[in-house]
Amino acid sequence: MSVRCGLRPGVFEVHVNGQFREVVLRSSDTLLHALRDLGLTGAKPGCENGDCGACTVLLDGVPVHACLTLGVEAVGHSVTTAEGLVDSPIRQAFIDYWAIQCGYCTPGFVVVCHALVTQCKEPTDEQIKEWLQPNLCRCTGYQEIKDAVHAVLRHSTQTTQGGDKE
């Protein structure tokens, strides 16, 4: 699909969290601000420079910095924000393992951790480190976040093994 957006703001349809949403966009608006204008404030403006990961969302399932993505780039693709992961095992694990302090970094972490646990079934410690490295937690709750990830991975391994036995 060829996409065009002129100098003036336009109305675009973006697929977010399973729904088509209409959003008024300048072509130079980042996806971060487009989502927040839709009331989806999970993706947080931190550095707006690709350094903190607070704005992480999934674009066609792949974690990206919403601050380094134009809103118009999402046209024709599917976006998932932390709000779209309310029923995910990783979100519950963040609660169970106290992986939240002030909470500012949490939506970004939830998004990247969800991608990790769903896309890498048996990640090595090195892979977990690589996936989590882009996200900063200034309250320094890194250990609890890793605990939450391991809990979900353990649970999915047990479920798979249980399923195999049946």
Ligand X SMILES: Cc1cc2nc3c(=O)[nH]c(=O)nc-3n(C[C@H](O)[C@H](O)[C@H](O)COP(=O)(O)OP(=O)(O)OC[C@H]3O[C@@H](n4cnc5c(N)ncnc54)[C@H](O)[C@@H]3O)c2cc1C
Binding-site ranges for another protein (CB under 8 A)? 1-8, 26-30, 33, 48-50, 53, 56, 59, 62-65, 67-70, 72-73, 112, 130-131, 133-135
| 103 is an interface residue for ligand X by CB under 6 A | no
Q: Give least dist CB 66 to ligand FES, A.
A: 6
Q: Which residue in the shown chain puts its C-beta closest to ligand X?
A: 50
Binding site for ligand FES (CB under 6 A): 45-48, 50-55, 65, 67, 100-106, 137-139, 141
CA distance 122 to 36: 34
Quote the CA–CA distance of 14 and 19 in Å, as a whole number.
8
What minimum distance in Å lies between the beta carbon of 127 and ligand FES? 21
Question: φ and ψ at 35, to 5 degrees?
Answer: -65, -40
- Tokens for 141, please give them: 């709750």
User: For another protein, which is the closer residue by CB, 97 or 131?
Assistant: 131
Nearest Cα residue to 28 out of 47, 44, 9: 9
The values of phi and psi at residue 80, to 5°, are -125, 130
Nearer to ligand X, 21 or 77 (CB): 77
Contact criterion met (CB below 8 Å) for 93 and 151: yes
Which residue, 55 or 151, is less far from ligand X as judged by CB?
55
